[in-house]
Amino acid sequence: MTKTILRALAGETLPTPPIWMMRQAGRYLPEYRATRAQAGDFLSLCYTPDLAAEVTLQPIRRFGFDAAILFADILLVPQALGADLWFVTGEGPRLSTITDASAVQALKPADAVHDRLSPIYETLRILSRELPSETTLIGFAGASWTVATYMIAGRGTKDQAPAHAFMQADRAAFSALIDRITEATIEYLSAQIEAGAEVVKLFDSWAGSLKGDDFDDFCMAPIARIVTALKQRHPGIPVIAFPREAGERYKGFAKATGADCVALDNSVAPDWAAANVQSDGCVQGNLAPGHMVTGGQALIDETRAIVQAFRGGPHIFNLGHGITPDADPENVALMIETVRKS
Protein backbone atom coordinates (compact mmCIF):
# COMPACT_ATOMS: atom_id res chain seq x y z
CA MET A 1 0.00 0.00 0.00
CA THR A 2 1.24 3.46 -0.86
CA LYS A 3 2.39 5.48 2.15
CA THR A 4 -0.38 7.56 3.69
CA ILE A 5 1.34 10.92 3.24
CA LEU A 6 1.98 10.19 -0.44
CA ARG A 7 -1.69 9.27 -0.82
CA ALA A 8 -2.80 12.56 0.75
CA LEU A 9 -0.36 14.49 -1.43
CA ALA A 10 -1.82 12.77 -4.48
CA GLY A 11 -5.22 14.21 -3.52
CA GLU A 12 -6.78 11.29 -1.66
CA THR A 13 -9.13 11.97 1.24
CA LEU A 14 -8.23 9.51 4.01
CA PRO A 15 -10.37 8.48 6.98
CA THR A 16 -7.51 9.39 9.35
CA PRO A 17 -5.07 12.11 8.31
CA PRO A 18 -1.39 11.17 8.33
CA ILE A 19 0.65 13.14 10.83
CA TRP A 20 4.14 14.54 11.30
CA MET A 21 5.39 17.65 13.07
CA MET A 22 7.66 20.50 12.08
CA ARG A 23 10.90 20.40 14.13
CA GLN A 24 9.87 16.97 15.42
CA ALA A 25 13.57 16.18 15.88
CA GLY A 26 14.68 18.78 18.37
CA ARG A 27 15.41 20.14 21.80
CA TYR A 28 12.13 19.06 23.42
CA LEU A 29 13.42 15.46 23.29
CA PRO A 30 16.04 14.32 25.82
CA GLU A 31 17.49 11.86 23.31
CA TYR A 32 18.07 14.73 20.86
CA ARG A 33 19.90 16.75 23.51
CA ALA A 34 22.14 13.76 24.23
CA THR A 35 23.03 13.31 20.56
CA ARG A 36 23.64 17.01 20.09
CA ALA A 37 26.03 16.96 23.05
CA GLN A 38 27.82 14.05 21.39
CA ALA A 39 28.16 16.09 18.17
CA GLY A 40 29.55 19.09 20.05
CA ASP A 41 27.68 21.84 18.22
CA PHE A 42 24.71 22.33 15.91
CA LEU A 43 26.58 22.52 12.60
CA SER A 44 28.63 19.43 13.44
CA LEU A 45 25.36 17.62 14.06
CA CYS A 46 24.03 18.71 10.65
CA TYR A 47 27.21 17.65 8.87
CA THR A 48 27.74 14.26 10.59
CA PRO A 49 25.45 11.90 8.66
CA ASP A 50 25.25 9.13 11.27
CA LEU A 51 24.24 11.59 14.00
CA ALA A 52 21.90 13.62 11.77
CA ALA A 53 20.18 10.38 10.76
CA GLU A 54 19.95 9.35 14.41
CA VAL A 55 18.13 12.52 15.49
CA THR A 56 15.83 12.23 12.45
CA LEU A 57 14.91 8.69 13.53
CA GLN A 58 14.37 9.50 17.23
CA PRO A 59 10.83 10.93 16.96
CA ILE A 60 9.85 8.08 14.62
CA ARG A 61 10.91 5.52 17.22
CA ARG A 62 9.22 7.40 20.05
CA PHE A 63 5.97 8.48 18.40
CA GLY A 64 5.51 6.56 15.14
CA PHE A 65 4.95 9.64 12.96
CA ASP A 66 3.94 8.95 9.37
CA ALA A 67 6.91 10.92 8.04
CA ALA A 68 10.47 11.75 8.99
CA ILE A 69 11.92 15.07 7.91
CA LEU A 70 15.63 15.34 7.21
CA PHE A 71 17.56 16.97 10.05
CA ALA A 72 19.46 19.92 8.57
CA ASP A 73 19.13 23.73 8.49
CA ILE A 74 17.92 26.18 5.85
CA LEU A 75 21.15 28.20 6.17
CA LEU A 76 23.38 25.43 4.83
CA VAL A 77 22.58 26.69 1.31
CA PRO A 78 23.98 30.21 1.99
CA GLN A 79 27.03 28.57 3.52
CA ALA A 80 27.50 26.49 0.36
CA LEU A 81 27.25 29.70 -1.67
CA GLY A 82 30.13 31.21 0.28
CA ALA A 83 28.58 32.86 3.33
CA ASP A 84 30.24 32.42 6.70
CA LEU A 85 27.83 30.66 9.09
CA TRP A 86 28.04 30.13 12.83
CA PHE A 87 25.63 29.67 15.71
CA VAL A 88 25.59 31.71 18.91
CA THR A 89 24.44 29.67 21.92
CA GLY A 90 21.03 30.81 23.09
CA GLU A 91 20.66 33.31 20.23
CA GLY A 92 20.69 31.31 16.99
CA PRO A 93 22.44 31.60 13.62
CA ARG A 94 24.72 34.32 12.37
CA LEU A 95 25.85 34.88 8.78
CA SER A 96 28.22 37.19 6.99
CA THR A 97 26.02 39.75 5.24
CA ILE A 98 25.13 40.56 1.64
CA THR A 99 24.84 44.35 1.41
CA ASP A 100 25.26 45.27 -2.27
CA ALA A 101 25.37 44.01 -5.85
CA SER A 102 29.08 43.17 -5.71
CA ALA A 103 28.48 40.83 -2.77
CA VAL A 104 25.75 39.06 -4.75
CA GLN A 105 28.08 38.69 -7.73
CA ALA A 106 30.79 37.24 -5.47
CA LEU A 107 28.63 34.30 -4.40
CA LYS A 108 29.59 30.86 -5.62
CA PRO A 109 27.62 29.26 -8.46
CA ALA A 110 24.48 27.30 -7.68
CA ASP A 111 26.11 23.91 -8.20
CA ALA A 112 28.40 24.57 -5.21
CA VAL A 113 25.71 22.81 -3.16
CA HIS A 114 26.66 19.44 -4.64
CA ASP A 115 30.10 19.05 -3.06
CA ARG A 116 29.65 21.27 -0.01
CA LEU A 117 26.42 19.61 1.08
CA SER A 118 27.35 16.02 0.27
CA PRO A 119 27.02 14.99 3.98
CA ILE A 120 23.33 15.97 3.82
CA TYR A 121 22.78 13.60 0.92
CA GLU A 122 24.52 10.82 2.84
CA THR A 123 22.14 11.40 5.76
CA LEU A 124 19.22 10.85 3.37
CA ARG A 125 20.76 7.64 2.04
CA ILE A 126 21.10 6.32 5.57
CA LEU A 127 17.49 7.24 6.34
CA SER A 128 16.24 5.56 3.17
CA ARG A 129 17.73 2.32 4.48
CA GLU A 130 16.75 2.65 8.13
CA LEU A 131 13.28 4.19 8.20
CA PRO A 132 10.30 1.85 8.66
CA SER A 133 8.79 0.88 5.33
CA GLU A 134 5.57 2.80 6.05
CA THR A 135 7.34 6.09 6.91
CA THR A 136 7.72 8.80 4.27
CA LEU A 137 11.08 10.58 4.00
CA ILE A 138 10.76 14.36 3.56
CA GLY A 139 13.60 16.59 2.36
CA PHE A 140 13.47 20.36 2.63
CA ALA A 141 15.00 23.75 1.98
CA GLY A 142 14.28 27.33 2.85
CA ALA A 143 12.41 29.25 0.17
CA SER A 144 14.31 32.00 -1.60
CA TRP A 145 12.82 35.03 0.17
CA THR A 146 13.33 33.64 3.66
CA VAL A 147 16.91 32.57 2.94
CA ALA A 148 17.63 36.01 1.46
CA THR A 149 16.40 37.75 4.61
CA TYR A 150 19.04 35.91 6.65
CA MET A 151 21.79 36.50 4.09
CA ILE A 152 21.12 40.25 4.06
CA ALA A 153 20.63 40.79 7.80
CA GLY A 154 23.12 38.16 8.97
CA ARG A 155 20.54 36.84 11.40
CA GLY A 156 16.82 36.42 11.93
CA THR A 157 14.94 39.72 12.25
CA LYS A 158 11.49 40.52 13.54
CA ASP A 159 10.22 42.39 10.47
CA GLN A 160 12.87 41.52 7.82
CA ALA A 161 13.59 45.25 7.54
CA PRO A 162 17.15 44.85 6.14
CA ALA A 163 15.89 42.69 3.27
CA HIS A 164 13.05 45.12 2.50
CA ALA A 165 15.54 48.00 2.54
CA PHE A 166 17.88 46.19 0.13
CA MET A 167 14.90 45.43 -2.15
CA GLN A 168 13.87 49.10 -2.18
CA ALA A 169 17.40 50.39 -2.74
CA ASP A 170 18.45 48.03 -5.54
CA ARG A 171 15.67 45.78 -6.80
CA ALA A 172 17.89 44.41 -9.60
CA ALA A 173 20.60 43.27 -7.19
CA PHE A 174 17.98 41.88 -4.82
CA SER A 175 16.38 39.97 -7.69
CA ALA A 176 19.80 38.60 -8.64
CA LEU A 177 20.23 37.32 -5.09
CA ILE A 178 16.80 35.66 -5.20
CA ASP A 179 17.74 34.07 -8.53
CA ARG A 180 21.00 32.66 -7.17
CA ILE A 181 19.27 31.20 -4.11
CA THR A 182 16.51 29.76 -6.30
CA GLU A 183 19.01 28.10 -8.64
CA ALA A 184 20.95 26.64 -5.71
CA THR A 185 17.74 25.41 -4.07
CA ILE A 186 16.74 23.56 -7.23
CA GLU A 187 20.13 21.82 -7.27
CA TYR A 188 20.01 21.09 -3.55
CA LEU A 189 16.50 19.62 -3.52
CA SER A 190 17.15 17.66 -6.71
CA ALA A 191 20.17 16.07 -5.04
CA GLN A 192 18.05 15.32 -1.95
CA ILE A 193 15.52 13.53 -4.15
CA GLU A 194 18.27 11.52 -5.84
CA ALA A 195 19.51 10.53 -2.36
CA GLY A 196 16.11 9.23 -1.29
CA ALA A 197 13.72 12.06 -0.36
CA GLU A 198 10.19 11.07 -1.39
CA VAL A 199 8.68 14.53 -0.77
CA VAL A 200 10.31 17.93 -0.46
CA LYS A 201 9.09 20.96 1.46
CA LEU A 202 9.87 24.65 0.94
CA PHE A 203 9.80 26.75 4.11
CA ASP A 204 9.03 30.42 3.43
CA SER A 205 8.91 31.30 7.10
CA TRP A 206 8.87 35.09 6.53
CA ALA A 207 6.46 35.15 3.56
CA GLY A 208 3.94 37.14 5.61
CA SER A 209 6.03 40.32 5.47
CA LEU A 210 5.75 40.46 1.67
CA LYS A 211 2.77 42.35 0.25
CA GLY A 212 1.30 42.91 -3.21
CA ASP A 213 3.71 42.58 -6.12
CA ASP A 214 6.56 41.76 -3.75
CA PHE A 215 4.70 38.63 -2.61
CA ASP A 216 4.15 37.66 -6.25
CA ASP A 217 7.75 38.33 -7.29
CA PHE A 218 9.73 37.07 -4.31
CA CYS A 219 7.53 34.41 -2.68
CA MET A 220 5.29 32.85 -5.32
CA ALA A 221 7.48 33.18 -8.42
CA PRO A 222 10.62 31.55 -6.94
CA ILE A 223 8.58 28.73 -5.41
CA ALA A 224 6.83 28.16 -8.76
CA ARG A 225 10.21 28.08 -10.50
CA ILE A 226 11.59 25.54 -8.01
CA VAL A 227 8.49 23.33 -8.20
CA THR A 228 8.50 23.38 -12.03
CA ALA A 229 12.19 22.52 -12.25
CA LEU A 230 11.95 19.69 -9.71
CA LYS A 231 8.94 18.15 -11.43
CA GLN A 232 10.72 18.33 -14.78
CA ARG A 233 13.72 16.50 -13.34
CA HIS A 234 11.76 14.15 -11.08
CA PRO A 235 8.28 13.55 -12.51
CA GLY A 236 5.75 12.80 -9.80
CA ILE A 237 7.77 14.22 -6.89
CA PRO A 238 5.36 15.91 -4.45
CA VAL A 239 6.20 19.36 -3.12
CA ILE A 240 4.80 21.00 0.03
CA ALA A 241 4.99 24.80 0.22
CA PHE A 242 4.74 26.74 3.48
CA PRO A 243 4.28 30.50 2.91
CA ARG A 244 3.85 31.21 6.62
CA GLU A 245 1.46 34.02 7.56
CA ALA A 246 0.36 34.48 3.95
CA GLY A 247 -3.19 35.06 5.20
CA GLU A 248 -5.55 35.65 2.29
CA ARG A 249 -2.71 34.85 -0.11
CA TYR A 250 -2.94 31.18 0.87
CA LYS A 251 -5.97 31.17 -1.42
CA GLY A 252 -4.84 30.20 -4.92
CA PHE A 253 -1.27 29.53 -3.78
CA ALA A 254 -1.25 25.88 -4.90
CA LYS A 255 -2.49 26.74 -8.39
CA ALA A 256 -0.07 29.66 -8.73
CA THR A 257 3.00 27.65 -7.75
CA GLY A 258 2.23 24.06 -8.70
CA ALA A 259 2.70 22.89 -5.12
CA ASP A 260 0.92 19.64 -4.28
CA CYS A 261 0.16 20.77 -0.73
CA VAL A 262 -0.01 24.10 1.09
CA ALA A 263 1.08 24.06 4.73
CA LEU A 264 -0.90 26.46 6.90
CA ASP A 265 0.16 28.43 9.95
CA ASN A 266 -2.18 28.61 12.94
CA SER A 267 -3.30 32.18 12.30
CA VAL A 268 -5.85 31.03 9.70
CA ALA A 269 -9.08 29.33 10.73
CA PRO A 270 -9.37 25.71 9.59
CA ASP A 271 -12.93 26.25 8.33
CA TRP A 272 -11.80 29.16 6.16
CA ALA A 273 -8.82 27.16 4.87
CA ALA A 274 -11.00 24.16 4.10
CA ALA A 275 -13.27 26.34 1.96
CA ASN A 276 -10.57 28.47 0.31
CA VAL A 277 -7.33 26.44 0.20
CA GLN A 278 -8.22 22.76 0.52
CA SER A 279 -10.59 23.25 -2.41
CA ASP A 280 -7.43 23.25 -4.61
CA GLY A 281 -5.83 20.15 -3.07
CA CYS A 282 -4.01 18.87 -0.03
CA VAL A 283 -3.46 21.09 3.00
CA GLN A 284 -1.17 20.56 5.97
CA GLY A 285 -1.63 21.89 9.48
CA ASN A 286 -2.44 23.72 11.59
CA LEU A 287 -2.49 23.19 15.37
CA ALA A 288 -0.94 26.03 17.43
CA PRO A 289 2.46 24.86 18.74
CA GLY A 290 1.64 26.24 22.19
CA HIS A 291 -0.66 23.26 22.76
CA MET A 292 2.46 21.08 22.89
CA VAL A 293 3.45 23.05 26.00
CA THR A 294 0.09 23.38 27.75
CA GLY A 295 -1.63 20.12 26.76
CA GLY A 296 -4.89 19.18 28.46
CA GLN A 297 -8.42 19.30 27.13
CA ALA A 298 -7.73 22.37 25.00
CA LEU A 299 -5.19 20.36 22.99
CA ILE A 300 -7.70 17.54 22.51
CA ASP A 301 -10.54 19.87 21.53
CA GLU A 302 -8.52 21.92 19.05
CA THR A 303 -6.96 18.81 17.49
CA ARG A 304 -10.40 17.28 16.97
CA ALA A 305 -11.73 20.53 15.51
CA ILE A 306 -8.91 20.69 12.94
CA VAL A 307 -9.37 17.05 11.93
CA GLN A 308 -13.11 17.67 11.56
CA ALA A 309 -12.69 20.87 9.54
CA PHE A 310 -10.44 19.19 6.99
CA ARG A 311 -12.24 15.84 6.90
CA GLY A 312 -13.78 16.53 3.49
CA GLY A 313 -10.51 16.61 1.54
CA PRO A 314 -6.84 15.62 1.51
CA HIS A 315 -5.16 16.65 4.78
CA ILE A 316 -1.86 16.05 6.56
CA PHE A 317 -2.06 16.90 10.26
CA ASN A 318 0.77 19.09 11.55
CA LEU A 319 1.45 22.11 13.71
CA GLY A 320 1.09 25.64 12.39
CA HIS A 321 4.81 26.17 13.00
CA GLY A 322 7.67 24.26 14.61
CA ILE A 323 7.41 22.64 18.03
CA THR A 324 9.18 24.70 20.70
CA PRO A 325 11.97 23.49 23.01
CA ASP A 326 9.74 23.80 26.11
CA ALA A 327 7.16 21.35 24.73
CA ASP A 328 6.25 18.23 26.70
CA PRO A 329 6.70 14.95 24.76
CA GLU A 330 3.62 13.61 26.58
CA ASN A 331 1.53 16.29 24.85
CA VAL A 332 2.90 15.19 21.47
CA ALA A 333 1.77 11.64 22.25
CA LEU A 334 -1.66 12.95 23.27
CA MET A 335 -1.98 14.89 20.01
CA ILE A 336 -1.14 11.82 17.93
CA GLU A 337 -3.57 9.66 19.89
CA THR A 338 -6.32 12.24 19.44
CA VAL A 339 -5.76 12.53 15.67
CA ARG A 340 -5.81 8.78 15.21
CA LYS A 341 -9.00 8.35 17.28
CA SER A 342 -10.87 11.34 15.82
Q: Name the band, by pLDDT with cuts 50, 70 and 90, for residue 1.
A: low
Summarize pLDDT for 307-331 with one digit per residue, the tens.
999 999 999 999 999 999 999 999 9
Percent of the chain predicted with pLDDT > 70:
100
Catalytic residue, candidates 23, 116, 244, 249: 23
Catalytic status, residue 311:
no
What is the overall mean pLDDT for the chain? Answer: 97
Catalytic residue among 7, 33, 36, 311: 36
pLDDT in tens, 249-270: 999 999 999 999 999 999 999 9
Q: What is the pLDDT of residue 89?
A: 82
DSSP code per residue over 90-150: TTEEEE----SHHHHHTSPPTTHHHHHTHHHHHHHHHHHHHS-TTPEEEEEEE-HHHHHHH
For the chain, percent of residues with pLDDT exceeding 90:
97
Which tens digit of pLDDT belongs to each residue from 277-289? 999 999 999 999 9
23 catalytic? Reply is yes
What own/partner pairs with CB < 8 Å and gap ≥ 24 does 333-338 have?
333/63, 334/295, 334/299, 334/300, 335/19, 335/287, 335/291, 335/292, 335/299, 335/303, 336/19, 336/63, 336/64, 336/65, 338/299, 338/300, 338/303, 338/304
Known catalytic membership, residue 244: no
The predicted pLDDT at position 91 comes to 86
Give the start-to-end residue ranges of the domains of the chain: 4-341
pLDDT digits (tens, 9 = 90+) for 101-118: 999 999 999 999 999 999
Give me the catalytic one of 28, 47, 66, 73.
73
73 is catalytic: yes
pLDDT at 246: 98
Is residue 276's pLDDT more than 90? yes
pLDDT (mean) for 8-35 = 98
Predicted confidence (pLDDT) per residue in 294-306, tens digit? 999 999 999 999 9
pLDDT, tens digit, 9 for 90 and up, residues 162-211: 999 999 999 999 999 999 999 999 999 999 999 999 999 999 999 999 99
Is pLDDT of 54 > 90?
A: yes
Cα dist. 247→213, 214, 236 in Å?
15, 15, 28
The pLDDT score that the predictor gives to residue 41 is 92
Integer-rounded Cα radius of gyration of the chain: 19
* 18-26: average pLDDT: 97
Q: 175 to each of 36, 110, 212, 236, 291, how far by Cα in Å?
A: 37, 15, 16, 29, 39
Whether the pLDDT of residue 90 is over 90: the answer is no
Query: Which of 27, 125, 155, 304 is the catalytic position?
Result: 27
Q: Is 250 known to be catalytic?
A: no
Q: What is the mean pLDDT of residues 37-54?
A: 97
**Beta-ladder partners of 285:** 317
Q: Which of 131, 182, 188, 190 is nearest to 5 (CA)?
A: 131
- Architecture in CATH of 4-341: Alpha-Beta Barrel (3.20)
- Reported as a pLDDT band with limits 50, 70 and 90, residue 99 is very high
Q: Which of 28, 47, 150, 188 is catalytic?
A: 150
